[in-house]
């Protein structure tokens, strides 16, 4: 598609409804992740396997990607991440190919945040990548608890987010990306996390990033607490007040949530 075609498609009558379809890709499975990384104050000692999800947004004219998944099992091992399994055509390129696409077909990328398993495919991209300014600032100098997920502690190795910084489009606060697609800050898991609001024929959805790993973060409860106190923050967070404020804001909006590492989301697959 030429630039002129794309411009015409984006603003032409066909795309004027601003409705998109969301399709879930699985770019690997993380093995043996401590439950405490997902559920604050979990003391069960349990370890779980998590899908690493990426989303295609398509309207028949343009194709956007929300997050780009992890890098590779080899790099994950070198960089102290959980064991990553990408067998069964789980690389980003293979997942795109299953949808008849290659990285050249992606018109824009939105990173919910810059943890390694959400931006590992960024260096492959040839499209603008939308990131909140606050997230870039924090990724550059994270808290010690977040050095590894940002790959900021690795002497002689360039973090995936840094390798793609040259073609990032930095945004600040709520921003319209396309008609029917916008981003809103959702701090808590990281200070610059953002959710992606997508209008579809089935209503509005929010791809939440790791503010919400699974629906348990919304519906679950802290062990031993009264039944009416619902919601358990992600075990990895920078600010719990922010986390709860972000969750409450989402709950006050007329939308459906798409958590970042939820097997049920993968099972459902497509939205809208
Ligand atoms: Zn994260």
pLDDT tens per residue across span 101-123: 999 999 999 999 999 999 999 99
pLDDT tens per residue across span 27-40: 999 999 999 999 99
pLDDT at 158: 84
Residue span of the structural domain in which 180 resides: 17-269
166: CATH: 3.60.15.10
In this structure, of 80-84, 110-114, 134-138, 153-157, the range with the lowest mean pLDDT score is 153-157
Domain count, the chain: 1
Is the residue at 5 inside a domain? no
Is the residue at 183 inside a domain? yes
Is the residue at 233 inside a domain? yes
| Environment class of 188 (CB within 10 Å of its CB; exposed 0-12, middle 13-18, buried 19+) | buried
Is the residue at 136 inside a domain? yes
Ligand 1 center from residue 18 Cα (angstroms): 29
Q: Greater confidence, 114 or 6?
A: 114
Confidence category of residue 236, pLDDT binned at 50, 70, 90: very high
- Mean pLDDT throughout 55-63? 97
Q: Are 57 and 66 in contact (CB under 8 A)?
A: yes
pLDDT at 230: 87
Ligand 1 center from residue 118 Cα (angstroms): 7
Please provide the average confidence, as pLDDT, over all residues in the chain. Answer: 92
pLDDT at 69: 97
Q: Are 30 and 49 in contact (CB under 8 A)?
A: yes
Ligand 1 center from residue 113 Cα (angstroms): 7
Ligand 1 center from residue 141 Cα (angstroms): 16
- Mean pLDDT throughout 233-251? 96
pLDDT at 219: 93
Is the residue at 4 inside a domain? no
- Mean pLDDT throughout 228-249? 94
Is the residue at 3 inside a domain? no
Is the residue at 23 inside a domain? yes
Is the residue at 68 inside a domain? yes
* Residues at Cβ < 5 Å from ligand 1 ion: 115, 210
Q: What is the pTM of this model?
A: 0.92
Ligand 1 center from residue 138 Cα (angstroms): 13
């Amino acid at each position: 598609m030429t630039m002129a075609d794309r411009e015409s498609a984006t603003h032409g009558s066909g795309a004027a409804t601003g409705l998109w379809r969301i399709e879930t890709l699985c770019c690997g499975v993380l093995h043996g992740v401590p439950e405490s990384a997902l559920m604050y104050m979990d003391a069960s000692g349990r370890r779980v396997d998590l899908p690493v999800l990426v989303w295609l947004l398509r309207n028949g004219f343009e194709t956007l990607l929300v997050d780009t998944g992890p890098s590779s099992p080899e790099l994950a091992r070198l960089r102290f991440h959980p064991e990553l399994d990408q067998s069964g055509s789980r690389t980003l390129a293979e997942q795109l190919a299953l949808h008849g696409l290659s990285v050249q077909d992606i018109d824009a990328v939105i990173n919910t945040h810059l943890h390694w398993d959400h931006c590992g495919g960024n260096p492959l991209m040839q499209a603008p990548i939308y990131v909140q300014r606050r997230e870039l600032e924090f990724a550059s100098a994270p808290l010690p608890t977040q050095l590894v997920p940002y790959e900021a502690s690795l002497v002689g190795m360039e973090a995936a987010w840094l390798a793609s910084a040259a073609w990032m489009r930095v945004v600040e606060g709520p921003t319209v990306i396309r008609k029917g697609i916008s981003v809103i800050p959702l701090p808590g898991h990281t200070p610059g996390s953002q959710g992606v609001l997508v209008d579809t024929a089935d209503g509005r959805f929010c791809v939440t990033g790791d503010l919400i790993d699974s629906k348990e973060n919304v519906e679950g409860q802290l062990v031993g607490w009264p039944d009416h106190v619902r919601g358990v923050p992600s075990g990895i967070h920078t600010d719990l007040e922010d986390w709860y404020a972000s969750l409450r804001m989402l709950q006050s909006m007329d939308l459906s949530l798409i958590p970042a590492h939820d097997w049920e989301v993968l099972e459902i697959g497509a939205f809208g």
